[in-house]
Structure 1
Amino acid sequence: MSTRPTAALVRAAVIGCACLALAVLAGRPVIILAGLPLLVWTLVAVARRIARGEEHGTAAATVTSNRRSIEEGGTAAISVRTAPGVLTAATIPLPPHSHFSPRHGSAAGDGSLRLRVSAQRWGRIHVGPVHVLVSDAFGAFRAQQLLPRLDVQVIPHSTVLEAPVEVPTPIGISGMHLSRRRGDGTALSEVRAFRPGDRLHRINWRVSQRTGTLHTNATFTEQDTDVLLVTDTIADVAAAPWSGENAPTSLDMTIRATSAVARHYLAAGDRVSVFDLGHLIGPIAPGTGPRQLRVLTDALARASREDGRTHPARRLRTVRPGTLTVVCSPLLHAEAIAQIGVLVAHGADIIVVDTLPPSIGDVSVLNGKPLRLDGKVSDRFWPEAWALRRLLRERTVRELRESGVPVTAWEGPSSLAPVLLSLAAARSAPRMRRS
């Protein structure tokens, strides 16, 4: 960007030259003293610009970010740089659900400046466009430039799920889940007589010495499993107006629950995949390890709530029997409820995570008085309508639990612990053998 003379420089030059000309024409040298300071300031500013060369004439500004991907609550540094010795000021529009330091997204410095942006919600925040103003030390030359915006990806918070890693039906080949099938593993099943083909390092020498015959340790195999995360992003249900500005919506709770469950089972070495009933996330193929976690968190962060178009719900046609399936849904749409029934019919182990905001349908704030929203009495009966809808939804929740599908509300990292513990206890409970 090329710098141009400011109005102050033009006024100082015009007034200084006018005083000089008037003193010559009137023959009164005293008049020169009135415009001499302005004329000197003008000459010094121009001489300083010439002495420094053309670097101020084309002071290019650049904006960079030290991080293109941060977690919820994380901070990224935005740097604006121009030529050294140039007074630089930058202003950035405040994106929603984020905070700047310094406040209001404005800062000034000598040749370079830095702002810090903190993201409060997952997704993608647009930093910019950045309005940059540069000036020399005398304020005689100035230039402005509008820099393009930067996109910073905000991934869901890396919540550590407080739950066991046991699954009801491990269906893989090798892993850390204890199987009912005997084979190579570390969990002791029984001590039995040695048979041809048994491994020598499994011989129990203490029992063999006591009995006089070779005995070996039999163990259970350890397997991995398939974990399918089904997300319901058909609609985003906002929290009640009285719950606060930063109260999570159903989509926020779905994204955070999906991220926590995926991180939990990927750390255990399982294969995790995602199927979205809506069109905000898209399907993610099964995978394991840190790479799969990066792919999954990037896909979750790219989900945008700005798309207001209505799409038909996707349908999952089949699933491998025994797959641990975690369905994150507010349980409001018939398509999502029907999909749970299809998964149960295919033999999947289903856990439903209720992601409806708890403030929805809560009529305790009324107390027999009209609800005031933004200082006005609400005449739309919004709380009463949602209360009736929640009562209808409770019937669906009750029918799911009666059919053997556990439903638990998402309340943080410890939400799934009771359900997984009960599934693990049911798996290890004694069973009646049919004759």
Structure 2
Amino acid sequence: MTSHPPQRSDLRTRPTPALLRAAVIGTAALMLALIAGRPELILAGAPMLVWALVALARRILRGEERTVVDPQLRVNRRSIEEGGTAAITVRTSPGVLMAATLPLPPHVDVAPRRGSLAGDGEVRLRVSAQRWGMISAGPVHVLVGDPLGAYRAQRSLPAAEVQVVPASTVLDAPVEVPTPIGVSGVHLSRRRGDGTALSEVRAFRPGDRLHRVNWRVTSRTRQLHTNATFTEQDTEVLIVTDTIADVAPAPWSPTDAPTSLDMTIRATSAIARHYLTAGDRVSVFDIGHLIGPVPPGSGPRQLRVLSAALSRASRDDSVHRSPRRLRSVRPGTLTVVCSPLLSKDTIAQIGVLVAHGADVIAVDTLPPSIGDVSVLRGKAMRIDGRISDRFWPEAWALRRLLRERTVRELREAGVPITAWEGPSSLAPVLLSLSAARSAPRRRRS
């Protein structure tokens, strides 16, 4: 069967009201000048009639028909990072003027602000996203016309979906973990074996490899000695995210202040990138339902899979679902819980992880403006320059005080807690994990 080439979709152009007015007024002026014998009317109507005739003649001489190629929308990048820019190009027939405008989504900047004009049938718009997620650039309203403005047509193009992944923050933290549980990697184990880190120099034993013989010590002691090393292992990193509720910052905070979900997503992305770069296996488990589970994996592919899963997280909390529960975890797994520590289900999940022998770190993602206790000392809350009479800040201040009890109990149970404040948030906690390993742990029988 012979396949026919796809038909070109065309856009029908129509005369503009300006062309119709010029033709009617110019013709009427000339007729009145001939009938009434008033030549001054020719000076009033001739320019408009000449403009209409030039527009028509130009259209005929250039071979321009009533149709132009239907505008096509293309996006150069379907995935960008926070703060990144994607270029949206709209193209149609060459030699026509075109204007394109699109509505401004939240947390998105468009340049030029009100669209763009082009003389060669092409318009380029730059879309910059300031927050992770899926943004819908459009629908794009396109207006095409000839250079004289005599003929035009318009069309609305469907919106272009652009995926915005969390910014690639590099953690200022060590990659060492307290309990390496893999086979090979960059983490030093307490077990001696094949590796590059020197453990001790000892007497040669049957089975030792000859290339590890320490000839300097051997020549001095007249007895064969060899270098003993520590094994180098990888580890498994589990990131537990709490997306049960998205806590917005205080009303007096800046408009670009992050919510608890923003902080959770950015912390998860930074931690995953940190350990995937070190060669570890990283997985994600979401107690809520906004992020799908990401199975363990390593390497650049796992980073792309995880970034895509984070960017697809929806902010729509209209559907209430029961929180997920992680049934088991491998002992020694480095587990990072990113949560505002407000849900009882999350606190219970941390207890289960500790009971199973995991090395747990809690990253507090509650916005710092939430629960400002200064309102309890008589500080007035101002919104838009006016003093608010609502008790919203007092209620959150009391809720934060109640939360401090939970934080204290978790720390007493050996779970280090740090507030997410950027790339350097995790460094002191990772360094203190070795001390947390000595805390008593309860295991299920």
SS, match of residue 181 in structure 1:
strand
Change (3 A) 1:239 1:28: closer
C-alpha distance in structure 1 between counterparts of 2:45 and 2:258, whole Å: 64
Question: 216, 224, 230: which is aligned to 1:206?
Answer: 216
- Counterpart of 2:165? 155
C-alpha distance in structure 2 between counterparts of 1:376 and 1:124, whole Å: 35
- Counterpart of 2:5? none
Q: What is the CA deviation profile of residues 394-421 of structure 1, one whole-angstrom value per residue up to 9, with x for unaligned ones?
A: 0000000001010111011000100111
Question: In the comparison of the two structures, how many residue pairs are matched?
Answer: 427
Question: 270, 274, 286: which is aligned to 1:276?
Answer: 286
Confirm or deny: 8 A CA contact 1:128 1:150 kept in the other structure.
yes
Stretches of structure 2 lacking an aligned partner (at least 5 in a row):
1-10, 439-445
Question: 1:321 corresponds to which letter in structure 2?
Answer: P
Aligned alpha-carbon RMSD (Å): 1.8
C-alpha distance in structure 2 between counterparts of 1:128 and 1:373, whole Å: 32
C-alpha distance in structure 2 between counterparts of 1:369 and 1:265, whole Å: 43
- Counterpart of 1:188? 198
Question: 286, 290, 307: which is aligned to 1:297?
Answer: 307
Report the alpha carbon displacement of residue 74 of structure 1 after superposing the two structures with TM: 1.0
C-alpha distance in structure 1 between counterparts of 2:165 and 2:37, whole Å: 76
- Counterpart of 1:341? 351
Question: 61, 64, 67: which is aligned to 2:74?
Answer: 64
Report the alpha carbon displacement of residue 310 of structure 1 after superposing the two structures with TM: 1.3
Question: 1:402 corresponds to which letter in structure 2?
Answer: E
C-alpha distance in structure 2 between counterparts of 1:281 and 1:164, whole Å: 27
Question: 310, 334, 339: which is aligned to 2:320?
Answer: 310
Change (3 A) 1:369 1:172: closer
Pairs within 5 Å for 1:380-395: 380-395=390-405
- Counterpart of 2:179? 169
C-alpha distance in structure 2 between counterparts of 1:191 and 1:427, whole Å: 29
Question: 2:322 corresponds to which letter in structure 1?
Answer: P
Q: Does 1:263 align with 2:273?
A: yes
Q: Does 1:106 align with 2:110?
A: no
Question: 1:142 corresponds to which letter in structure 2?
Answer: R
Q: Does 1:355 align with 2:365?
A: yes
Query: What TM-score results when the alignment is normalised by the length of structure 2?
Result: 0.92
Q: Does 1:142 align with 2:152?
A: yes
Report the alpha carbon displacement of residue 302 of structure 1 after superposing the two structures with TM: 0.8
Stretches of structure 1 lacking an aligned partner (at least 5 in a row):
429-435
C-alpha distance in structure 1 between counterparts of 2:90 and 2:375, whole Å: 48
Question: 1:198 corresponds to which letter in structure 2?
Answer: D
Query: What TM-score results when the alignment is normalised by the length of structure 1?
Result: 0.94
Change (3 A) 1:394 1:15: same
Question: 1:337 corresponds to which letter in structure 2?
Answer: I
Q: Does 1:197 align with 2:197?
A: no
Report the alpha carbon displacement of residue 308 of structure 1 after superposing the two structures with TM: 2.4
SS, match of residue 402 in structure 2:
helix
C-alpha distance in structure 1 between counterparts of 2:338 and 2:40, whole Å: 86
Pairs within 5 Å for 1:26-41: 26=36, 31-41=41-51
C-alpha distance in structure 2 between counterparts of 1:55 and 1:40, whole Å: 21
Change (3 A) 1:114 1:366: farther
Question: 2:84 corresponds to which letter in structure 1?
Answer: G
SS, match of residue 58 in structure 1:
strand
Confirm or deny: 8 A CA contact 2:414 2:436 kept in the other structure.
no
Report the alpha carbon displacement of residue 56 of structure 1 after superposing the two structures with TM: 6.1
C-alpha distance in structure 1 between counterparts of 2:382 and 2:200, whole Å: 68
Q: What is the CA deviation profile of residues 106-128 of structure 1, one whole-angstrom value per residue up to 9, with x for unaligned ones?
A: 22121222221211111111111
Q: What is the CA deviation profile of residues 277-306 of structure 1, one whole-angstrom value per residue up to 9, with x for unaligned ones?
A: 001111000000000000001111111113
Q: What is the CA deviation profile of residues 238-271 of structure 1, one whole-angstrom value per residue up to 9, with x for unaligned ones?
A: 0111111010110010001000100000011100
Pairs within 5 Å for 1:68-79: 68-79=78-89
Report the alpha carbon displacement of residue 29 of structure 1 after superposing the two structures with TM: 6.1
Question: 1:257 corresponds to which letter in structure 2?
Answer: A
C-alpha distance in structure 2 between counterparts of 1:342 and 1:202, whole Å: 44
Confirm or deny: 8 A CA contact 2:30 2:41 kept in the other structure.
yes
Identity, % of aligned pairs? 76
Confirm or deny: 8 A CA contact 1:225 1:271 kept in the other structure.
yes
C-alpha distance in structure 1 between counterparts of 2:69 and 2:89, whole Å: 16
Confirm or deny: 8 A CA contact 1:156 1:300 kept in the other structure.
yes
SS, match of residue 415 in structure 1:
coil
Deviates more, 1:109-118 or 1:375-384: 375-384
C-alpha distance in structure 2 between counterparts of 1:426 and 1:380, whole Å: 43
Q: What is the CA deviation profile of residues 202-238 of structure 1, one whole-angstrom value per residue up to 9, with x for unaligned ones?
A: 0111111222221111111000000000000000000
- Counterpart of 1:91? 101
Question: 1:46 corresponds to which letter in structure 2?
Answer: L
C-alpha distance in structure 1 between counterparts of 2:41 and 2:431, whole Å: 95
Report the alpha carbon displacement of residue 369 of structure 1 after superposing the two structures with TM: 4.6
Report the alpha carbon displacement of residue 22 of structure 1 after superposing the two structures with TM: 3.5
Pairs within 5 Å for 1:223-238: 223-238=233-248
Confirm or deny: 8 A CA contact 1:229 1:328 kept in the other structure.
yes
SS, match of residue 262 in structure 1:
helix
C-alpha distance in structure 2 between counterparts of 1:92 and 1:249, whole Å: 27
Change (3 A) 1:31 1:73: closer
Change (3 A) 1:152 1:55: farther
Report the alpha carbon displacement of residue 58 of structure 1 after superposing the two structures with TM: 2.1
Report the alpha carbon displacement of residue 371 of structure 1 after superposing the two structures with TM: 2.0
Q: What is the CA deviation profile of residues 53-79 of structure 1, one whole-angstrom value per residue up to 9, with x for unaligned ones?
A: 236622421222211111111111122
Deviates more, 1:356-365 or 1:291-300: 356-365
- Counterpart of 1:432? none
- Counterpart of 2:138? 128
- Counterpart of 1:331? 341
- Counterpart of 1:254? 264
- Counterpart of 1:403? 413
Confirm or deny: 8 A CA contact 2:68 2:92 kept in the other structure.
no
Confirm or deny: 8 A CA contact 2:193 2:229 kept in the other structure.
yes
